[in-house]
A and B are shown apart, each in its own frame.
Chain A
């Protein structure tokens, strides 16, 4: 599914990632752990093609991501630390826009149903600029639930969530795993990591330990 070979990245001559290599099989779930600043988010942003890299290659579903247009990585979905949505828009408007970017057509009832599952029905028409951090985190998972992807990269899916939110997100990640979806996550809690992955990779000083 994904093969990352010798990826390096430096900021202002400081090497953040040093020849990172790993591969991930279809249906496999990997958790990346490591201290703040270890380069986990940078690695995810490089795989998602948000960030350039100095050398190496990333093969996703048999295609080198550096050499193909983003249109060829439609089955790779990235959820960053921030919501990745427009704050003047409501949850429904943001979701409709993101779905249309990926040419996915869903009934409004289906979107509302998923929003309802995540307790966002009441505020579905409010601009997301008024949402709390926890609500935004829930909205990101709603977005992932509605998209059509084979592999997802999620940066800290459990942050800012209350008990109900944690349960909901855990339930959905378990559901995705049961559907044989490939998942890469960045987590800081080792208990969560052990529950939701097949493998833990720890990044330390720019290399995988």
Chain B
């Protein structure tokens, strides 16, 4: 059943292309704004680049997850999903995984302009950079989908989503910035291990909470 739900999430985007397109355009616009508005030396930019990147991802993920749940609200499609005899936690898992895929795709599309326009070098240990980024994406999307599930049934969902999402995802963004800066500077893992553990804890807590609570969250 999880695969049926995941397939729906991916196909719906393949059809409309609204989500990825809006995420990429918004992401590139922020990257361009950062690169053309700052006149900093390369050494300074390297220190701030991770923060800039994760702030971009923060806004883009809010946009993406809002659109993902908007599909459910239009035509009240969610009612058919929720009344189906399925484990409602799987709806959360499918949204989490599809959100992770979209976010990763979007990052692939904006990462090259990001490094190019900010005129910084790619990290020397590319495998660690990719794996930590994927790990952080999982955390961001776990929180984003949990919060969207809470906000969706409210009449004020468009206001409630950023109010809940930005403070709750802040620990991940702070940890992400620390991890990425350390990876860029080739620091020893011991120095940034704590931040990885923080993101891991948030993934476990948000993932479990989303899976268990989604049954109740989706009822009006």
> In the complex, are the beta carbons of A85 and B219 less than 8 A apart?
no
**Is residue A191 within 8 Å, beta carbon to beta carbon, of the partner chain?**
no
Given known A-B contacts A82-B75, A83-B75, A86-B71, A50 and B84 have beta carbons under 8 A apart: no
User: A20 in the interface, Cβ–Cβ < 8 Å?
Assistant: no
Query: By the criterion CB–CB under 8 Å, are A97 and B75 in contact?
Result: no
Query: How many B residues touch A, CB cutoff 8 Å?
Result: 25
Q: In residues 47-76 of chain A, which contact B (Cβ within 8 Å)?
A: 48-52, 69-74, 76
The answer to whether the Cβ of B16 comes within 8 Å of any Cβ in the partner chain is yes
Q: Tell me, yes or no, whether A78 is within 8 Å of chain B by CB.
A: yes
Q: Judging by beta carbons under 8 Å apart, are A82 and B85 in contact? A: no
Chain A: residues with Cβ within 8 Å of the partner, total of 34
Whether a CB of chain B sits under 8 angstroms from the CB of A1 is no
Instruction: Check if A84 sits within 8 Å of B4, measured CB to CB.
Output: no
How far is it, in angstroms, between the C-alpha of A49 and the C-alpha of B86 when the chains are bound?
Answer: 13
When C-beta atoms are compared, the residue in chain B nearest to A153 turns out to be B83
Asked whether any CB of chain A lies closer than 8 Å to the CB of B116, the reply is no
A87 interface residue per 8 A CB criterion? yes
Does the CB pair B75–A70 fall under 8 Å? no
Kindly state whether residue A176 has any CB partner on chain B within 8 Å.
no
Q: Is B82 an interface residue (CB 8 A)?
A: yes
Among A98-106, A114-122, A159-167, A181-189, the one that faces the other chain is A98-106
CB of B56, distance to nearest CB on chain A (Å): 27
Contacts of B76 in A (CB 8 A): 80-84
Among B12, B76, B83, B84: residue with most chain A CB under 10 A: B83
B42 CB-CB contact with A under 8 Å: no
Within 8 Å of chain B (Cβ to Cβ): is A150?
no
B74 adjacent to chain A (CB < 8 Å): yes
Q: Which residue of A lies closest to B8 (CB)?
A: A97
Known: A45-B220, A88-B16, A89-B12. Is A102-B85 also a contact (CB below 8 A)?
A: yes
**A48-B83, A70-B82, A71-B87 known; A101 and B75 CB under 8 Å?**
no
Docked CA distance A93–B15 (Å): 11
Is the CB–CB distance between B4 and A88 below 8 Å?
Answer: no
- The answer on a CB contact under 8 Å between A88 and B85 is no
Q: Does B130 contact A (CB under 8 A)?
A: no
Binary contact track A26-57/B, C-beta < 8 Å → 1, others 0: 00000000000000000001001111100000
Q: Judge whether A78 and B75 touch: CB under 8 Å.
A: no
Any A CB within 8 A of the CB of B79:
yes
In the complex the two chains form, is B80's CB within 8 Å of A98's CB?
Answer: yes
CB neighbours (8 Å) of B12 from chain A are: 86, 88-89
B79 touches A84 (CB 8 A): yes
Q: How far is the CA of A89 from the CA of B4 in the complex (A)?
A: 15
Question: Do A84 and B75 have beta carbons less than 8 Å apart?
Answer: yes
Chain B positions within 8 Å of A134 at CB level:
none
**Docked pose: A83 CA to B15 CA in angstroms:** 19
Q: Let me know if B189 is at the binding interface, CB within 8 A.
A: no
Residue of B nearest to A9 (CB): B220
Going nearest first, the 10 A-B pairs with the smallest beta carbon separation are A82-B76, A74-B85, A84-B80, A88-B15, A101-B84, A88-B16, A51-B220, A71-B85, A83-B75, A78-B83
A-B contact pairs, 21 of them (CB 8 A): A45-B79, A50-B219, A51-B220, A69-B215, A70-B82, A70-B83, A71-B86, A71-B87, A77-B83, A78-B79, A78-B83, A80-B76, A81-B76, A84-B77, A87-B71, A87-B75, A88-B12, A88-B71, A89-B15, A97-B4, A102-B84
